[in-house]
């Protein structure tokens, strides 16, 4: 599409406002003045190709976006507006900008290679808004059961939530997110994207991926993106996603079966499972002998088997009515004293079944970009200079880049 100078100026303004940047902030990035930015947006001053490339990167856009038939707000702009703290943290802003660049580069390469991006295969559940915490927990638990059944996962551990989401057509990224943000899920043009914090431990990353999985299947219909914050855990959508994550990673029958193999546990009465600490059902558990009580060693083995934290296991057992409140408090105290961590140090060489499931192989999006960049270079769709640029975006050092034949200079 050929657009006029005034149309381009208007799109620059729209992109800035959609991403939540002020003209002063844009001026600082361009190393110019606010009146100059205002003149660009008014169409009174032409924007250079270098400036447009800088603005596209700042707004989380591809340069191609400014010249497409349709210029619409998507989940990337929503995420920028929802993360104002990145304005004050250069490292966080750079990390987010790089992640969005990777997404845009993947989509652009798929376009030039004539690859039609498959729509995410995840089902979309239309749920009535939960009015209580208990209702949100019930929704999350039920959704997890339906998804495990759809994927034919049985009652065992999920090997790698990241690979599972990829197989369902979702782009998965690991980024240096702002403090207190555990994950993001949003639509980026033709792609659905899940982002988790690279600063979190592997077990937390697994939990966050399952949490974002829930947002992807039931919350994106009403919003272009979802930001998961630690301080919003009582929000019904977050409660539901927490419940989903716990039930998806630690199915009730799987927990009971594993404990039964150890001669531990008891049959559960009616209840829902999640790592939602506010939900405490009142019930009278069946009396069991001390030798059959679930202890911190059992919790440690369960955590390693299902690939979750020991705290998550304790709360899951409690919400499934497999331990009572005094036992939960006792296990939590032992965990806080470091007993579980100490026991975990001995696990691995004792019994193969105690080894944790495979950790998330992140970041898969970079692997996708690497492959597409080489394919595009071989097909003559991008220049050697562009290939070098993309390989550096993937994370290769300059020395590593020039070991790849397609990226070498002609005089080498």
Encode the chain (412 residues) as per-residue pLDDT tens digits.
578 888 889 888 988 887 778 899 899 889 999 999 999 999 999 898 889 888 887 887 777 778 876 666 566 777 777 787 777 777 777 888 888 888 888 888 988 898 766 566 888 898 988 989 999 999 999 999 999 999 999 999 998 898 899 888 888 888 878 888 899 998 877 778 898 988 888 889 999 999 999 999 999 877 788 999 988 888 999 999 999 999 999 999 999 999 998 888 654 444 444 445 433 433 334 444 455 789 998 999 899 899 999 999 999 999 999 999 999 999 999 999 988 888 887 665 434 444 455 544 445 678 888 989 999 999 999 999 999 999 999 888 888 898 888 888 765 5
Q: What is the pLDDT of residue 274?
A: 43
Q: What is the pLDDT of residue 120?
A: 66
Domain shared by 228 and 164, yes or no: yes
Q: What is the pLDDT of residue 268?
A: 40
**pTM for the structure as a whole:** 0.78
Q: What is the pLDDT of residue 352?
A: 40
Q: Looking at residue 42, which CATH number applies to its domain?
A: 1.10.260.40
Of 73, 95, 125, at which residue does a domain stop? 73
Domain shared by 230 and 153, yes or no: yes
Q: Looking at residue 166, which CATH number applies to its domain?
A: 1.10.10.2910
Domain shared by 237 and 146, yes or no: yes
Q: Answer whether residue 139 is part of any domain.
A: yes
Domain shared by 212 and 304, yes or no: no
Domain shared by 212 and 309, yes or no: no
Query: Which domain does 204 fall in, by range?
Result: 133-249
Q: What is the pLDDT of residue 272?
A: 43
Domain tally, the chain: 3
Domain shared by 211 and 137, yes or no: yes
Domain shared by 186 and 236, yes or no: yes
Q: Answer whether residue 94 is part of any domain.
A: no
Of 23, 48, 73, at which residue does a domain stop? 73
Domain shared by 335 and 242, yes or no: no
SS (H, E, C) the chain: CCCCHHHHHHHHHHHHHHHCCCHHHHHHHHCCCHHHHHHHHHCCCCCCHHHHHHHHHHCCCCHHHHHCCCCCCCHHHHHHHHCHHHHHCHHHHHHHHHHHHHHHHHHHHHHHCCCCCCCCCCCCCCCCCCCCHHHHHHHHHHHHHHHHHHCCCCCCCCCCHHHHHHHCCEEEEEECCCCCEEEEEEEECCEEEEEEECCCCHHHHHHHHHHHHHHHHHCCCCCCEEEEEHHHCCCHHHHHHHHHHHHHHCCHHHHHHHHHHCCCCCCCCCCCCCCCCCCCCCCCCCCCCHHHCCCHHHHHHHHHHHCCCHHHHHHHHHHCCCCCHHHHHHHHHHHHCCHHHHHHCCCCCCCHHHCCCCCCCCCHHHHHHHHHHHHHHHCCCCCHHHHHHHHHHHCCCHHHHCCCHHHCCCCC
Domain shared by 164 and 137, yes or no: yes
Q: Answer whether residue 370 is part of any domain.
A: no
Q: What is the pLDDT of residue 74?
A: 64
Domain shared by 245 and 256, yes or no: no
Backbone angles phi, psi at 360, to 5 degrees: -60, 130
Domain shared by 54 and 141, yes or no: no
Domain shared by 285 and 235, yes or no: no
Q: What is the pLDDT of residue 108?
A: 85
């Amino acid at each position: 599409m050929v657009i006029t100078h005034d149309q381009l100026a208007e799109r620059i303004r729209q992109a800035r406002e959609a991403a939540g940047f002020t003209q002063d902030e844009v001026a600082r990035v361009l190393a110019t003045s606010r009146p100059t930015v205002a003149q660009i947006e008014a169409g009174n001053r032409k924007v250079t190709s270098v400036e447009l490339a800088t603005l596209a990167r700042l707004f989380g856009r591809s340069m191609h976006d400014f010249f497409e038939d349709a210029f619409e707000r998507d989940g990337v702009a929503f995420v920028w507006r929802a993360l104002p703290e990145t304005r004050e943290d250069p490292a966080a802003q750079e990390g987010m900008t790089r992640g969005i660049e990777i997404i845009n580069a993947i989509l652009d390469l798929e376009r030039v290679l004539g690859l039609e991006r498959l729509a995410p295969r995840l089902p979309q559940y239309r749920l009535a808004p939960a009015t209580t915490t208990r209702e949100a927990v019930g929704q999350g638990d039920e959704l997890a059961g339906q998804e495990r059944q759809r994927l034919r996962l049985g009652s065992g551990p999920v090997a790698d939530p990241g690979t599972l989401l990829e197989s369902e057509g979702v782009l998965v990224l690991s980024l240096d997110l702002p403090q207190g943000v555990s994950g993001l899920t949003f639509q980026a043009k033709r792609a659905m994207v899940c982002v988790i914090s690279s600063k979190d431990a592997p077990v937390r990353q697994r939990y966050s991926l399952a949490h974002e999985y829930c947002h992807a299947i039931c919350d994106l219909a009403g919003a272009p993106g979802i930001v998961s914050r630690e301080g919003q855990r009582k929000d019904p959508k977050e409660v539901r996603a927490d419940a989903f994550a716990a039930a998806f990673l630690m199915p009730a029958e799987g927990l009971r079966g594993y404990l039964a193999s150890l001669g531990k546990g008891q049959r559960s009465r009616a209840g829902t499972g999640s790592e939602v600490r506010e939900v405490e059902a009142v019930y009278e558990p069946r009396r069991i002998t001390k030798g059959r009580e679930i202890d911190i060693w059992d919790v440690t083995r369960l955590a390693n088997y299902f690939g979750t934290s020991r705290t998550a296991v304790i709360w899951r057992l409690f919400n499934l009515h497999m331990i009572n409140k005094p036992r939960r408090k006792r296990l939590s105290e032992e965990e806080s004293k470091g007993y579980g961590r100490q026991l975990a140090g001995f696990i691995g060489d004792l019994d193969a079944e105690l080894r944790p499931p495979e950790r998330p192989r992140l970041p898969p999006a970079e692997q996708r970009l690497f492959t597409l960049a080489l394919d595009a270079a071989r097909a003559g769709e991008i220049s050697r200079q562009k290939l070098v640029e993309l390989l550096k975006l993937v994370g290769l050092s300059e020395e590593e880049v020039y070991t790849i034949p397609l990226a070498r200079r002609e005089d080498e």
